[in-house]
Amino acid sequence: QKEVEQNSGPLSVPEGAIASLNCTYSDRVSQSFFWYRQYSGKSPELIMSIYSNGDKEDGRFTAQLNKASQYVSLLIRDSQPSDSATYLCAFATGTASKLTFGTGTRLQVTL
Amino acid sequence: GAVVSQHPSWVICKSGTSVKIECRSLDFQATTMFWYRQFPKQSLMLMATSNEGSKATYEQGVEKDKFLINHASLTLSTLTVTSAHPEDSSFYICSASRGSGVNSPLHFGNGTRLTVT
């Protein structure tokens, strides 16, 4: 069983719509969860981090964590073409931020 | 601005040669840095954890004699791909965290695209 599962996509949404990205994980002791955005040919950049159950909002982004169900999601409101990228979810267990990544979901925001 | 700097951003080398990649933490000290590798259309796979002043910890399946890691200072870790082969062609990315706790997010360098001909 994969440790982190994401739908590879592509997920296509029109400009201005809400994009919903989902991720499930198998390690119940995972403590920290992160969403990274990766443009083609570039390294990942941190979008959101979430550590406790519930929602966390930052601008157009909202991360949702449900540890009981072992899923974490990312909502992008008012999607823009510049949001088109691959979104990687990752989790950390223990110290020193050693991350396990999902394979990413490719998001396409269409005009 | 960038908190982790990686150099070079791309390199092309001939099969059998060695390539060194540098990773620097900017304005903070990183006792631990991480080296990842990403093949096309795949996710990031952790190769090794670089520990300042001690030996690196390699993930299962990563040859420590092929991928030499040196973390000689609190701001610099290097990865040397020795005797590179075409199958080593990949995107190598280093990362570091400002803190040591589990809640300290990783920041990534810009990556190095290695092409072995």
Give chain B's end-to-end CA distance (angstroms, integer).
34
Residue B52 and residue B70 in contact, taking contact as beta carbons nearer than 8 Å: no
% of chain B residues with pLDDT over 90: 71
Q: For residue A1, name the pLDDT band (cuts at 50, 70, 90).
A: low
pLDDT above 60 (res A5) = yes
The CA angle A28-A33-A39, to the nearest 5 degrees, is 135
Record the tokens describing residue A37, joined without a space: 């955005």
Interface check A98 vs B, CB under 8 A: yes
Give the closest-approach CA distance of B43 to chain A in angstroms. 4
State the Cα torsion B85-B87-B89-B94 to the nearest 10°: -100
d(CA B78, CA B109): 12
d(CA A90, CA B97): 15
Give the SS3 label for residue B102: coil
Q: What is the pLDDT of residues A28-80, one digit of tens each?
A: 777 789 999 999 989 999 999 998 999 999 999 999 999 899 999 999 999 99
Q: What is the pLDDT of residues A69-87, one digit of tens each?
A: 999 999 999 999 999 999 9
What residue type is A109 in one-letter code?
A: V
What residue type is A82 in one-letter code?
A: S
Give the closest-approach CA distance of A67 to chain B in angstroms. 16
Contacting residues of A for B6, CB less than 8 Å apart = 43
Contacting residues of B for A47, CB less than 8 Å apart = none
pLDDT of residue B72: 83
Q: Which of B14-23, B71-80, B81-90 is least confident?
A: B71-80
d(CA B83, CA B76): 23
Q: For residue A96, name the pLDDT band (cuts at 50, 70, 90).
A: very low
Give the SS3 label for residue A102: coil
Residue B22 and residue B110 in contact, taking contact as beta carbons nearer than 8 Å: no
pLDDT of residue B28: 86
Instruction: Name which of B86, B101, B100 is nearest B17 in CA terms.
Output: B86
Place of tokens 């919903």: A20
Record the tokens describing residue B50, joined without a space: 């670089």
pLDDT of residue A34: 92
